[in-house]
Structure 1
Amino acid sequence: MEVANHIILIVAVLVTFAIFASVLSSRIGAPVLLVFLGLGMLAGEDGLGGIQFSDFKVAYLIGSVALALILFDGGSRTRRDAFKQAGAPALILATAGVVFTALITGVATHYLLGLEWVEAMLLGTIVGSTDAAAVFSLLHLKGLRLKQRVAATLEVESGINDPMAIFLTLILVQVAASGESLQHAIAHPLPLLWDFAWQLVGGIIFGVIGGQIVLRAVNRLQLSAGLYPILACALALVVFATTQAAGASGFLAIYLVGYRLGNNAHRATAEIARFLDGMAWLSQIGLFLMMGLLVTPSRLLPILLPALAISAVLMLVARPVAVALCIWPFNFTRKEGAFISWVGLRGAVPIFLAMIPVMSGLHNAYVIFAVAYVVVLTSLIAQGWTVPRIARMAGLELPPRPSPRARVELGLPAGVGRSVVAYTVDPMSIMALRRPRRLPLPAGTEILSVMSDGQVRTLQPGDGFNGGDIVMLLTEPDALPSLDRLFGARKARPKAKGIGPVDFTLDAGANAGEVAEMYGFMVTPHERDLSLAGLMQARLGREIEVGQRIRAGSVELVAIGIDAERAPSKVGLDLDPPPPQSAMTLLRLRANEIRNSVREMFLS
């Protein structure tokens, strides 16, 4: 009993420290997963904690469940549009991309470490796939907003590339354990191709069927609201384990279950989303803490230099070459391709896969495990720490949306297709600055009630909203990002002479259609493919002056930077411009200008 209490105390203290450390990491810009991993190493046998943990079987079991839950949450966050935008390039990166990366890294490993070809290729395979936990953490938890196609490619690739990495790892471990040569395995490819096909196709079949079962169970069973998230997770893990037992990819299956649940109306939407968010956080904390405890840093020193060289080859050669070969048919720009290459983050999956050779008793298993660990550390430090800066340099980062002060979603019966949401009005939001008739509410959105100081009041046409008011709306699920923008607090708007206030500064090369969708302004169909600079030039002419504006629905675009060719280099976005003046007012102002000009001409 005393040992059990000890374990509970240690686990609770580690998780608590990890949470506090994550707050500190966000202030210095460090990847939160690196903090969890470092804290685990600090608590391990070479660190201050002195905790000895070397049970790879237990770690593999816990790691399997944690990765499954992370992928389940990631699938539920992946929108249907992401597959439409980036399904093809992501699938090629998740299959052929992993193979190309593994081959190049394996060759480097053979010459840098002197391992046999089978073991070298095994290491290349283990570190060949991007990590879902790291990518989802970067794209969702840090609030980094990228151009939609680039973000969708990275997100979908990381969610579906595990089957290829796991399949190749298991095959190469089997070859190494049996003593066969790599050439013999390659000479008889049919069994390998069949195994891979079943991993992929079986994972899809179990995932699609399992997703439908989970969705129906959530919608049809009458349960307490708190039981729906538990039911969803339990059934998803049943699908995962059943798929694994059938020899297919359980990780792909549970990702598709989450995707199915997250893209269809169901009961307890808000409860399940919050529960999965918490479970994903707990899984990541537990997984990376355990990985940190599992390694002995002093045993990394003998292979540190060649491991760093292998990591450099992976980041600077193998991943860029693989990405270039896989995405060239899809018209990505050079900057987009370079950014996708750099965000090939390695995280828990390589360490998780590196446990398999150790449990199989291969000769150089711990060397492979140690190198994989160094690769993960360098990836999180070099890539994870610099991704936001690289995104800005490549012109791929989009300004953050204002976050709402508080949003509560109320569940409606499945099939209704609409949601009831309640927001608390922030004093610095557009809702507090505009009258209701000037609010650009999304289509299909209705204000149901307004509560001020605990009293429900009827909204009159001339009434406005005050900070702290609670507004309840009936809306479409797709309209929530636009409502978040309306209710979110904005920073103080900078003003410059001849320009006026702006909320965000955008790169003039950003796609007008993508920015229009995110900020709710209007462009015509033939303007959607233009850049912001091209949009302004199409409406104002080829030569533009600083401070010139164009109206786009309820917002205005402002030229705040001009290049040598008199085209915008920076474009400001004013989310709260003055209302457009009537034609009569404009005629009156023009008449006054003419009268003043004539008067000055005769008086001078």
Structure 2
Amino acid sequence: MHSHAVELAQTFLTAILLVFFVGTLGGKLSEKLRIPDVVLFILIGMLLSPSVLDLVDIRSESTANQAILLFGASFILFHGGMITRLSVLKEVWRTITLLSTLGVVVTALVVAVAAVWIFDMSFMPALLLGSILASTDPAALVPIFQKFPVRRKVSQTVITESAFTDATGAIMATVVFSLLMTTGAAVEWGSIGLQFAQLALGGIVVGAIVGWIAAFLISENDRGLLREFAPMVIVITVLAAYLGAEWIHASGFMSVFVAGLMIGNAESFKLTILPKQEHAAHEFIDAVSLKLRMLIFILLGSQVDFSVLQDYGLQGLLVVLVFVFLARPITVLSCLLPDRRAKWKRNEILFLFWTRETGVIAAALVGIVGSSGLEDAKLMSAIAFVAILFTLLLQASTTPFVAKKLGLLEEQQVREKGHL
């Protein structure tokens, strides 16, 4: 006879086995259909959910689910940092700064006004909803740009935006949530500014330190003690960067992105990682990222509450349409047009209008709100999941097509130059 704990562990492992098996088939099918794999993963999750086939039932509030979300998003965002070039970021740093500050506020306010108008919500809960949706999703964006070679300037701007808006979106959501939970308390703008500096700058500092140490340990110098263990160093770096930042109450996601940026641009810091170690690291990251995407998005799909969607889904879709077709364009224009040095072209701006996936970060934030007992929490949950489903199923699946039509695929540009 097995103990109850062993039976729970076996049930969990059975669910993981099923996720990996069906997810692998879904990944193969996505290659045949030439669509991002996260789209099929979330559909598979909805099919396996307790509301349909009842084969996967891992609760969103469970420790196992939170660990998968946090490590998975961290690892994928670290990969985004590794494939981002500092030379490209130097061109667009003003845009990224605006998108991760002004952009978050603009998105949150537009969504809040729409929610107030459509649902007759109070403004502060509506603003909390807008803050939850303001962050873009690195777990969905990084694999899309890795598989489909969109112009570097554009793809790396979007990836970096997703890293930085995680911090600023989380700050705004945390502040609004705190105000809602402590009604009548005075707003201390000084403490809000301090909190932002701590989350953002703290994450950058921790990530830079951890990333430099990791790059040093696997570099070709005489003290590169762990050159032959590059994959294991990657795992340690992701965990150390995330947990180290969170320990000092900074942004763990920003920290892992910066750590990846340090390793991916080691040559800029007078460190040389040999091709053998670099190849081993990238092979390992590619393999692990695929498994983590399966886990994250199949579990996310399995946790969709169909009863809540049935109650609020249609009206929630109206809010999401405002979010996608009004809030995003206004945000992009207000942040890209002031940056004259980046020389943004019309096709690049149009692409950024459409590229705005929502996923893991929104799901995690709405999960926290849902467990608080806050009024309108179910409504926020429904709208957040409609946003996740809409942006992943519609926008993520059409991102390569839109990039091709706008002439932003690098392979396409090479072919066009060859015909001149």
TM-score, scaled to structure 1: 0.63
Equivalent residue, structure 2, for 1:495: none
Provide the residue aligned with 1:61 in structure 2. Answer: 67
Cα deviation, 1:500-554, whole Å, max 9, x if unaligned, reads xxxx742xxxxxxxx6xxxxxxxxxxxxxxxxxxxxxxxxxxxxxxxxxxxxxxx
Residues 547-586 of structure 1 correspond to what in structure 2 (within 5 A)?
A: 557-558=418-419, 571=420
8 Å contact 1:126–1:169 — kept in the other structure?
A: yes
Query: After the TM superposition, which residues 499-518 of structure 1 pair with which residues of structure 2 at under 5 Å, given as runs?
Result: 505-506=415-416
Partner of 1:16: 21
Judged with a 3 Å threshold, the aligned counterparts in structure 2 of structure 1 residues 277 and 124 are, in CA distance, closer, same or farther, namely: same
Residue in structure 2 matched with residue 217 of structure 1 by the alignment: 217
Rounded to whole Å, the distance in 2 between the matches of 1:133 and 1:55 is 17
| Distance in 1 between residues matched to 2:375 and 2:313, nearest whole Å | 19
Match of 2:46 among 22, 27, 41: 41
Taking the aligned partners of 1:221 and 1:377, their CA distance within structure 2 comes to 45
Q: Which residue of 1 aligns with 2:269?
A: none
| Aligned residue number for residue 262 of structure 1 | 264
In structure 2, the CA distance between the partners of 1:118 and 1:293, relative to structure 1 (3 Å rule), is: same
Residue 375 of structure 1 and its aligned partner are, at CA, apart by 0.5
Return the offset for 1:2: 4.2
How do 1:482-493 residues align onto structure 2 when only pairs under 5 Å count?
none
Q: Normalising by the residue count of structure 2, what TM-score does the alignment of the two structures yield?
A: 0.89
Distance in 2, matches of 1:150 and 1:223, equals: 34
Output one character per residue of 1:193-231: Cα deviation in whole Å (capped at 9) or x when no partner.
Answer: 111122111111111112112222334354583x33112
29 and 112 in structure 1: CA distance in 2 versus 1, 3 angstrom threshold: farther
Identify if the C-alpha distance between structure 1 residues 242 and 383 changes in structure 2 by more than 3 Å, giving closer, same or farther.
same
* In 1, Cα distance between equivalents of 2:373 and 2:396: 32
- Partner of residue 241, structure 1: 243
Superposed counterparts of 1:4-403, under 5 Å: 4-58=9-63, 59-141=65-147, 144-180=148-184, 184-185=186-187, 188-219=188-219, 220=223, 222-223=225-226, 225=228, 227-264=229-266, 265-266=272-273, 268-329=277-338, 330=340, 331-399=343-411
Structure 2 Cα separation of the partners of residues 55 and 158 of structure 1:
22
Q: Structure 1: give runs of 5+ residues left out of the alignment.
A: 402-503, 507-514, 516-556, 559-570, 572-604
Report the structure number with the largest CA radius of gyration.
1
Q: When you count strand as a share of all residues, which structure comes out higher? A: 1
What's the % identity of the aligned pairs?
25
**Contact 2:217/2:225 (<8 A) preserved:** no
Report if aligned partners of 1:31, 1:381 keep a CA contact under 8 Å in 2: no
| 2-structure distance, mates of 1:52, 1:232 | 31
What secondary structure does 2:371 align onto?
A: helix
Q: Give the distance between the partners of 1:51 and 1:280, measured in 2 at CA.
A: 21
Pairwise CA RMSD of aligned residues?
A: 2.1
| Greater share of helix | 2
8 Å Cα contact 1:147-1:397 kept in structure 2: yes
Helix, strand or coil: the match of 1:363?
Answer: coil
Work out the CA distance in 2 between the residues paired with 1:49 and 1:303: 23
Number of residue pairs matched?
401
Aligned with 2:101: secondary structure?
Answer: helix
Distance 1:361 1:216 in 2: 47
* Unmatched segments (≥5 aa) in structure 2: 1-5, 267-271
> Which secondary structure state, in structure 2, belongs to the residue aligned with residue 108 of structure 1?
helix
Q: Is the 8 A contact 2:332 2:352 kept in 1?
A: yes
Large movers: runs of 4+ above 4 Å? none
Instruction: Write the deviation string for residues 255-293 of structure 1: whole angstroms up to 9, x where unpaired.
Output: 101111111122522211111222222222111122122
Range with greater deviation from structure 2 (202-211 or 45-54):
45-54
Higher relative contact order (CA 8 A, sep 6+): 2
Per mean C-alpha deviation after superposition, the further-off stretch among 162-171 and 25-34 is 25-34
Q: In structure 2, how many angstroms separate the alpha carbons of the residues matched to 1:224 and 1:49?
A: 45
Compute the displacement of 1:49 (Å).
Answer: 2.9
In structure 2, give the amino acid aligned to 1:46. S
What is the letter of the counterpart of residue 218 of structure 2?
A: V
Q: Deviations over 1:148-173 (max 9, x none)?
A: 32223222212322100111111122
